Amino acid sequence: MIGNFFVEAEDGNARAGVLNTAHGSINTPAFMPVATQGSVKALDFTDLRSMGAHVVLSNTYHLMLRPGIDLIRDLGGLHKFIDWDGPILTDSGGFQTFSLGKLTKVTDAGVQFRSHIDGSLRFLSPEIVLEYQSSLGVDIAMVLDQCSEYGLGHAEIMEAMRRTHDWALRSRETHNNPDQLIFGIVQGGWDIALRKQSAEFLKSLDFDGYAIGGMSVGEPKSVMYETVSLMGQELPYSKPRYLMGVGSPEDLVESVYMGVDLFDCVLPTRVARNGSLMTLKGRINILNKQYSKSTGPIEESCDCYTCERFSVAYLHHLFKARELSAYRLASIHNLRFILKLMEDMRLAIKSNTLGLYREEFARNYHPTDESIRLVQKQKWSKRRQESS
């Protein structure tokens, strides 16, 4: 039945599950490649199918501005428009609108903002984002929420959380699409007590799933891990847990270990386009001269399209020569690397060996500071707006 989430196996706090949607089931833990504007950058959905993706994420905010919700609805819905017949989750757009800073006005009614494309005045409310997500015909809708940037004071976080809860209630009351799941979003910033309070309130609304929002927004890793760990305890066992915007290999392993089921992140494809390719030892910069003569694949154990066909030397050449194909081949590799990581963790959970898997991963994988620097270099607000 749509919405049912079965936990097939557990290992400590980690779970291997199946989430049923109107466009098929999702094996969890699962990573959702990000098709912000209806396209996973540099790829098409045949690539996504080939690499074993089960579900993709798109974005209500971006699609409403371009090409427009009505147009997609009139053309038969988002699945048909983008050529993807599997499950789609859409973010509500709240995260993006807040990024517009002074151009955005948040009231209890909703969010007024100016389009980053043509400057036109637009409005989103909890009710409107659900109407839009129904028009798109997506399988999992996210409620409108208000995110708290790291560093905000207690009062501001409280206010954003109160509003998020108010909106969640209105969303729950509004939602009446039997073909669509609806997920609530826990807020509360860096304040662990507020996070707990937020989780408790949202639980009372009985959503089909629960997202952990406002993570990876500038906070130290320790804050994120503490929050995720708490959520692995507090959120309902029988519902999927979704950590929004997180997707570095090390964070995925830690978060699955703490009980998270769903993830999305632009990191794998964004860094791929910069030539940063994932291996089980860490990320390599394909542009480095040392890779100009390597005849092997990026990662020996990888079964992706790119690794099966092309040498590191050829990829080095494509990046050096700025050939467009480089972006696609690198994105395919990094996404498949992440998807395989999830598949391997699922198997480990089923065989009760996730602890060993996590230890071995941590022993071999050297997280680059690069990812942290990449994130810190960019303004948080800019990241939110682009989101891909």
Residues annotated catalytic, as ranges: 91, 264
386 lines the binding site for a copy of itself (CB under 8 A): no
Among 14, 19, 22, 82, binds a copy of itself (CB under 8 A): 82
- To a copy of itself, the closest distance from the beta carbon of 76 in angstroms equals 8
43 lines the binding site for a copy of itself (CB under 8 A): yes
328 lines the binding site for a copy of itself (CB under 8 A): yes
Q: How big is the site for a copy of itself, counted in residues (CB under 8 A)?
A: 37
> And the tokens for 89?
């989750």
- To a copy of itself, the closest distance from the beta carbon of 124 in angstroms equals 20
- To a copy of itself, the closest distance from the beta carbon of 292 in angstroms equals 7
For the chain, what is the radius of gyration of the CA atoms? 20
Phi and psi based region of residue 368 (left: phi greater than 0; alpha: psi -120 to 50; beta: remaining): beta
174 touches 126 (CB < 8 A)? yes
Among 46, 233, 351, 364, binds a copy of itself (CB under 8 A): 46
> 42 vs 298, which CB is nearer to a copy of itself?
42
Distance separating alpha carbons of residues 268 and 298, to the nearest angstrom: 15
202 lines the binding site for a copy of itself (CB under 8 A): no
Stretch that binds a copy of itself, among 164-172, 276-284, 326-334, 366-374 (CB under 8 A): 326-334
> 96 vs 229, which CB is nearer to a copy of itself?
96
- To a copy of itself, the closest distance from the beta carbon of 342 in angstroms equals 23
- String marking each residue 83-112 x if it binds a copy of itself according to CB under 8 A: x-----------------------------
> And the tokens for 67?
């090409």
Residues 1-30 that bind a copy of itself (CB under 8 A): none
Residues 166-185 that bind a copy of itself (CB under 8 A): none
> 58 vs 216, which CB is nearer to a copy of itself?
58
74 lines the binding site for a copy of itself (CB under 8 A): yes
Residues 127-166 that bind a copy of itself (CB under 8 A): none
Among 75, 109, 121, 356, binds a copy of itself (CB under 8 A): 75
> 328 vs 384, which CB is nearer to a copy of itself?
328
116 lines the binding site for a copy of itself (CB under 8 A): no
37 lines the binding site for a copy of itself (CB under 8 A): yes
Stretch that binds a copy of itself, among 75-83, 124-132, 167-175, 372-380 (CB under 8 A): 75-83
Of 4, 42, 38, nearest in space to 324 by CA: 42
Q: Return the number of other C-beta atoms located less than 10 Å from residue 243's C-beta.
A: 29
- To a copy of itself, the closest distance from the beta carbon of 265 in angstroms equals 18
- To a copy of itself, the closest distance from the beta carbon of 61 in angstroms equals 13
- To a copy of itself, the closest distance from the beta carbon of 123 in angstroms equals 22
Three-state SS annotation for the chain: CCCCEEEEEEECCEEEEEEEECCEEEEECEEECECCCCCCCCCCHHHHHHCCCCCEEEEHHHHHHCCCHHHHHHCCCHHHHHCCCCCEEEECCHHHHHCCHHHCEECCCCEEEECCCCCCEEEECHHHHHHHHHHHCCCEEECCCCCCCCCCCHHHHHHHHHHHHHHHHHHHHHCCCCCCEEEEEECCCCCHHHHHHHHHHHHCCCCCEEEECCCCCCCCHHHHHHHHHHHHHHCCCCCCEEECCCCCHHHHHHHHHCCCCEEECCHHHHHHHCCEEEECCEEEECCCHHHCCCCCCCCCCCCCHHHHHCCHHHHHHHHHCCCCHHHHHHHHHHHHHHHHHHHHHHHHHHCCCHHHHHHHHHHHCECCHHHHHHHHHCCHHHHHHHCC
Of 6, 3, 1, 2, nearest in space to 237 by CA: 6
- String marking each residue 285-314 x if it binds a copy of itself according to CB under 8 A: -------xx-x-------------xxx-xx
Residues making contact with a copy of itself (CB under 8 A): 37-44, 46, 66-67, 71, 74-76, 81-83, 292-293, 295, 309-311, 313-314, 316-318, 320-321, 323-325, 327-329
